[in-house]
Amino acid sequence: METSEKEKKYFKAKERVECIKKFYTSLLSYVFFIALLAGINYWADEWRYPWFLWAAFGWGIGLVFQAIKAFSINPFFGRDWEDRKIKEYMEEDEKQRRWK
């Protein structure tokens, strides 16, 4: 394996680790702030109207999308769909260049 290929793999792996780290930081912030809002909600009106759930729901949707990105979860195309398509298009391009 060439050095440049090793470097590409290293940087891709490093980028993925940073993305996962950012997700866990966001998850920790989510838990902390939603707990804080729940405490304020209880203190203010003893959960007669649990308004903190609106914030939990909204922020939670964003967190789910961040998790999908961080862990490369793609329910529609599968895990390696993108890599296969890239390889397919590269091979197609290579064939067209040969015929020219």
Domain locations along the chain:
3-99
Structure confidence by residue, pLDDT tens digits, 65-79: 999 999 888 767 766
Q: What is the pLDDT of residue 66?
A: 95
Write out the two tokens for 77: 């195309």
Residue 38 and residue 54: Cα distance in Å, rounded?
A: 11
Structure confidence by residue, pLDDT tens digits, 29-77: 999 999 999 999 999 999 899 999 999 999 999 999 999 999 888 767 7
